[in-house]
Structure 1
Amino acid sequence: MKICIKTVFVNLIIFLVSCNVNHKKMLQKQSGIMVSSVNWDLILHNFKAKPDSSINMDYFRNHYELYPERWEVVFDYLNNLRADSLLLGTVNLSNDVYVTISEYQTKKKEEIWFESHREYIDLQYVIEGSEYIALSHNAIENIVLYNKEKDIAFYTANVEKQLLADSTRFFLFFPEDLHQPCINIGSSKYVKKIVIKIKVS
């Protein structure tokens, strides 16, 4: 009799623990964040572009867990994006997130420095046109010291990756990511771009 009671008790504990684990997994799935991967199709269900493979997913997951409300603002904006009705300029989406729509001509890479930001994460998405964006984590020289008001510093750096930016993919650049945007693909071309700024802390 004692053995039966003990067995039932152990099975009950195992059942409760299993339920708790499954409940946590369900909540993680609903939020779009899984332990080892990110369900972008669930997060960005109405946005055609895909995340570029250059994105530091560990940094993204950690930041999402700390500030989910900021990323929900970003995802909501992208899911409701109407590319044909966007006006140029800057709009605050919340106290910690803002978006800038700009248009420009791409340039020769020799005319552009690498840049980095401390206060904000960059989400960059090219709506029209295409360009290269160079990525590096190895600065050679700090050309322009960090400007806190503009949240930017400029560098020369060794190119680690040259990324194709067009309407099929978007990029996330975190504080350690030196990036050199607006580079010609062949010759100078028109580009229209969205840059969403997400506060780091």
Structure 2
Amino acid sequence: MIVDKLDNAPRYYGVHPGFKAAFEYLKTQHLDSLTTGRREIDGARLYALISRDQGRGKAAAKLEAHRKYIDIQYVIAGDELIGVRPTADCRQVSAAYDPERDIGFFADAPDTWVLLHAGSFVILWPEDAHAPLSGEGEVRKAIVKVAVRP
């Protein structure tokens, strides 16, 4: 997991072949004006989901994990509290992994909490089970999905 501000994104371009295009998308789009939904960047290898959701609170935190995609979750507006736990430490499967949707859910509790403010991002690998929308209030964000294997 990496937490940082978008201004520092160039530091991570070399970490994965898709990161430069992902961060350039976040920097060059007028994210405030985009409607919610999916935005194609490079087909199935790289795309963004623009969302506007209400936080559910820590008590409703639900860990999820992916296998095919890395998430870059960027906060456009509001504050985002995300619970995190290593996927390998998750023992309580609440919904089995669905390869079509690339998601599985766990009933385990997060062991780390990350608070993101507007302009910040978190990079979550398949090894990072995460519980988004664990805070209170509305959050608008872009979730860039980067294929693990480009």
User: Normalising by structure 1, what TM-score?
Assistant: 0.64
Shift of 1:109: 2.2
Q: Percent identity?
A: 30
Q: Which structure 2 segments of 5+ residues have no match?
A: none
User: Normalising by structure 2, what TM-score?
Assistant: 0.83
Select which of 38, 41, 63 maps to 1:90: 38
CA RMSD of superposed structures (Å): 2.1
Quote the residue 1:117 is aligned against.
66
Greater radius of gyration (CA)? 1
Shift of 1:81: 2.8
Quick check: 2:63–2:109 contact (8 Å CA) kept in 1?
Answer: no
Quote the residue 2:108 is aligned against.
157
Rounded to whole Å, the distance in 2 between the matches of 1:160 and 1:189 is 22
Quote the residue 1:19 is aligned against.
none
Quick check: 2:64–2:104 contact (8 Å CA) kept in 1?
Answer: yes
Q: Which structure 1 segments of 5+ residues have no match?
A: 1-39, 52-56
* 4+ runs deviating over 6 angstroms: none
Quick check: 2:75–2:141 contact (8 Å CA) kept in 1?
Answer: yes
More strand by share: 2
More helix by share: 1
Matched, 1:77 2:25: yes
Structure number with greater CO (CA < 8 Å, separation at least 6) is: 2
Aligned residues: 140
Quick check: 1:140–1:158 contact (8 Å CA) kept in 2?
Answer: no
Matched, 1:142 2:84: no
**1:1-201 pair list within 5 angstroms:** 47-48=6-7, 50=8, 61=15, 64=16, 68=17, 70-95=18-43, 96-137=45-86, 138-184=89-135, 188-201=136-149
